[in-house]
């Protein structure tokens, strides 16, 4: 069984700890925004370690839309590489944990539909895309 290595970003690791320890009673929202988050448990593509990545909760029916925005940074978050290498993830949404499989959305029609849903759920995504010339990757997570 691989070990869990917490995010090197302290507030992120703290949110994961609070969210999981309280089974979603606390730690579900993105700080003062009050907007809901999920936790994506994924596998390190280099270490094979368990990684836990909070993301904004963007639901599309029974699926989740995962947006590799990283605040509009010039490079993708490294969990992007994890998901491409190991598409089997677990997604915690409050007190439910789902086994899901992710795929990167490459079809432009599908992507614009999902991007619209994502920006609706979390408007800053639009600002993040405006501030970087990398195309922010979008994954869809579907139940297995
Ligand atoms: N990030 C987003 O991109 N989108 C969101 O919607 C989002 C929402 C959100 C809500 C709450 C919250 O607390 C955080 C939120 N974040 C969101 C931030 C997100 O959780 C991540 O912290 C952020 O996207 C950066 O992801 P990252 O995977 O680049 O994390 C860094 C900080 C990290 O943990 N790096 C580790 C390190 O040691 O530097 C390595 C982690 C890792 O996965 N390593 C891989 C391995 O094999 O173990 C190798 C990766 C490689 O290929 O180098």
Q: Is the CB of 18 under 6 A from ligand 1?
A: no
Q: How many CB atoms lie within 10 A of CB 135?
A: 10
Ligand 1 nearest atom to the CA of residue 12, by list position = 13
pLDDT at position 91 is 98
Q: Is the CB of 67 under 6 A from ligand 1?
A: yes
| CA of residue 42 to ligand 1 center, whole Å | 10
Integer Cα distance of 17 and 23 in angstroms: 10
Q: Which residue's alpha carbon is at the smallest distance from atom 26 of ligand 1?
A: 77
Q: Is the pTM of this model over 0.85?
A: yes
Q: Which residue's alpha carbon is at the smallest distance from atom 42 of ligand 1?
A: 44
Measured between alpha carbons, how far apart are the two ends of the chain, in Å? 21
pLDDT at position 54 is 98
Q: Is the CB of 37 under 6 A from ligand 1?
A: yes
pLDDT at position 32 is 84
pLDDT at position 1 is 76
Which of the listed CATH numbers 3.90.25.10, 2.60.120.10, 3.40.640.10, 2.30.110.10 matches domain 10-143? 2.30.110.10
In what helix (H) or strand (E) does residue 91 lie, and over which residues does it extend?
strand 88-93
pLDDT at position 123 is 98
Q: Which residue's alpha carbon is at the smallest distance from atom 21 of ligand 1?
A: 53
Please report, for the chain, the start and end positions of each structural domain, with discontinuous segments joined by +.
10-143
Low-confidence ranges of the chain (pLDDT < 70): none
């Amino acid at each position: 069984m691989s070990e869990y290595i917490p995010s090197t970003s302290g507030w992120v690791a703290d949110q994961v700890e609070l969210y999981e320890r309280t089974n979603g009673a606390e730690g579900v929202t993105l700080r003062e925004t009050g907007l809901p988050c999920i936790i994506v448990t994924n596998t390190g593509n280099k270490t094979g370690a368990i990684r836990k990545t909070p993301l904004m909760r963007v639901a599309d029916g029974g699926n989740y839309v995962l947006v590799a925005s990283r605040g509009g940074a010039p490079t993708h978050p490294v969990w992007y590489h994890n998901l491409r290498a190991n598409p089997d993830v677990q997604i915690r949404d409050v007190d439910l944990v789902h086994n899901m499989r992710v795929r990167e959305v490459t079809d432009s029609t599908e992507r614009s539909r999902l991007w619209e849903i994502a920006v609706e759920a979390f408007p800053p995504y639009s600002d993040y895309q405006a501030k970087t010339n990398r195309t922010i990757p979008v994954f869809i997570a579907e139940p297995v």
